[in-house]
Structure 1
Amino acid sequence: MNIKTDPTIDWAARDARVVHHPHGDVTDPARLVLVRGKGSTLWDADGRDYIDAHAGAWLTQVGHGREELARIAAEQMSTLAHFTIMGDYANIPTIEFCERLIARAPKNMAKVRLMSSGSEADDEALQLVRLYHHKRGQPQRTRILVLRGSFHGRTYGGAELAGGRPGIGDVPNNAIMLTPPLSYHSELFGGDDPTDFCVRELEQTIARVGADNIAAMFGELVMGPAGMIPVPDDYWPRMVAVLKSHGILFVADEVVTAFGRAGAWYTSLDYNLTPDIIVLAKGIASGYVPLGALLLDGNLADVLDGAGGGGSYAGHLMASAIGSANIDIIERENLLEASRLRGKQFLDELGELINLPIVGDVRGRGLMIGVELVSDKATRQSLFDTFPRLKKEIPLFTRRKHGVITAIHGGAVALTPPLVITPQEVSKVADAVGDVLARVNIHTGQID
């Protein structure tokens, strides 16, 4: 379908005047103004179509243009759009939605706290793990274990979990950075097995800091912003066993991985984990409304019963109705299996790219695919350390030449399309990425 807007209107110029873009380039006024989507296809204001291999920040699980979700939103808004769930107020869509989240979760999960975004949910999880220990008479347990290079939101709490970010002021020195299990980067482990190395480092860190000073560990079950990095299968089970033996809570950050993105309702289930908290957002409503949540272990929920937080929009009726309908679509269309199948197809079709001089690793779990780019295969130095401009130029070239929307994260081309992507579309994306990467001159950084 050819969708065009009024050609006399310069939407890009109007955008540049008034919209402040996160990670925007103030020196480049160019904008891709999107106006419509259907399935895994997007259209811009000039009528050009694109395959969406980005899913609008990895979250449009059920694809674009779902009219049934629009109808459900309209019906709920015309009945009752929102009323707070603070105190003793409740509503039916939120009750039903929380029941459905718990029904699909690890068996120890008992309660749901709702909010509006993943960053907000991570921030609240940080507050809750400290409050839990405070209520149990251990207020000194404030320090947090995190993996170096991980991402847990854009709030001030998220900055604290990252060990601070330049220019935002002092951040409490509470985050303890651990070596991430980046199997491709074997230089990190001194010849040891990555999991053995990381478990030993965790035990040594706990002994040095003192378990009685550590509140929790936050972990992305697949490291997304770091470059779509699946961890060794034994990594999280062994790490969590150590944490639990010392009374340290485990917060599974599944903002990206849940709702089929990594091939399961919750990746915690794939690893047989029983986290104390699971952090959710992104695919929880496929981006049709802003929505985030925390799933709480039963014991932790009992200790924290009545704790504040959640925000004004917690338990939003329309958002809950959309969340339930999103679950219906994922189940009805078997999108968990689709994620696994299309992810395997990506890995199969992209696998031969390892022979290109700039490709160091091709990896993924479900529809979280990463193609790591290097300037030196021996040292594994990132291509973007050598040619920083390629971080922008590779996705731009892919989009303009092939009509495929991709992104760069953590030194890798990240492919995270809607779970409804077809086998034919996967092949088109793989061919486009292969063509562009084959054009990159490893010596000059030019795309020929």
Structure 2
Amino acid sequence: MADNNNKAGYENTLLCVLFLTFGFVFFDRLALAFLFPFMANELQLSNSHLGMLSSVLALAWALSGALVGAWSDRRGVRKPLLIIAVILFSLCSALSGLVTGFLSLLLFRGIMGLAEGPILPLSQSLMVEASSPHRRGLNMGLLQGSAAGLLGAVIGPPVLIALAEAYGWRHAFIVSLVPGLLIAWLIWRYVRNDEPRQAPRVSEPPAGNRLALLKSRNIVLCTLISCVFLTWFIILISFTPTFLVSVRGYSPPSMGAIMSCLGAAWVLWGFGVPAISDRIGRRPTLVLFSLVAACCPLALLFAPSPLMLGVLMVLTYTGLGCFTLFMATIPAETVPREVMATALGMIMGVGELVGGFVAPTVAGFAADRFGLSIVMWMSCGGALLAAVLALFLKETAPAVLRRRLPATPILQGNQP
């Protein structure tokens, strides 16, 4: 009984620490989108520049997430890497407030992406090992979806906009250093040290055979879904603040309020979607809520008033709950733990490369040529493609698989 209590206690403690960690990653990552309307004139930045800034961060995120995730699997090292990554991206976010032009901002955002990339695969691999099977989806959804929504999209917009209006956009970047250092201390204090890696069994494949992950249908499909769903997300989150101000004509405070509604939905669906998948299955949940997410950019285009738009944001911004499924939960339930961080890093990395690096740059140039409305149609298409791809996934939810088991002995028992 004491062992169960200790396990549950550490599971909850780890969830709280990693919740803050990944939430603050998105606070820093989304800061540029919220502060862009304040800094664009001073630094002479265009929509194309905004797309390229989002792209370089995503490219660095993709490369470091895949490479460091694989390296951590080989070495069995996660906690020290997590601490170093948090300190480094916090420094780079603060240094973004000292830039003098586009190139220096591009440099700091790229370095920040290198630091942020490993945090998700490292955090989710720690979380899945500490989680009870019946709440695995919920824990991973809280960590990845709700944390990013609460800190990045609910707290982030009003705090950053208030700081920018009161003290200037540079100070809004600089103050981000303080919570980053506090979170690094919490990881050092409360996350357990990595257990020594045992020597591999003779029957285990060598590390080079990790490319065999590509033979798994779920891993390949999750990677493709990551590409198109990140297109939905990165385009939406990068261009929506500017779209609301310059196209819909809303004031910065109104834009911040709408983005906070988006963030509230992020928090709600971030744990709600994975929790629903624990009950009804990963595949039907992912298909359903991908279709709902496709309606979000359409609401931004056609909602008749700020109030109606805020309501529709809460109802349709379901994508980050879906992210937890294809980027963490389904892969974690598909591959052995020895290659879990490798699989998570690869899915995230390839998705960031296509949806995070290529898509916003293309969207930025398209916006300068055809108007900002075009990016909303591109975002909608990404979510629709994700729903189609999700139809072909193999189910992995433990509760659903258990419900299917009793039928098998009965059928066998009826055979002669």
> How does the TM-score come out when normalised to structure 1?
0.27
- From the two aligned structures, give the one with the greater strand fraction: 1
- Point out which structure has higher relative CO (alpha carbons under 8 A, 6+ apart): 2
Q: Which has the larger radius of gyration?
A: 1
- From the two aligned structures, give the one with the greater helix fraction: 2
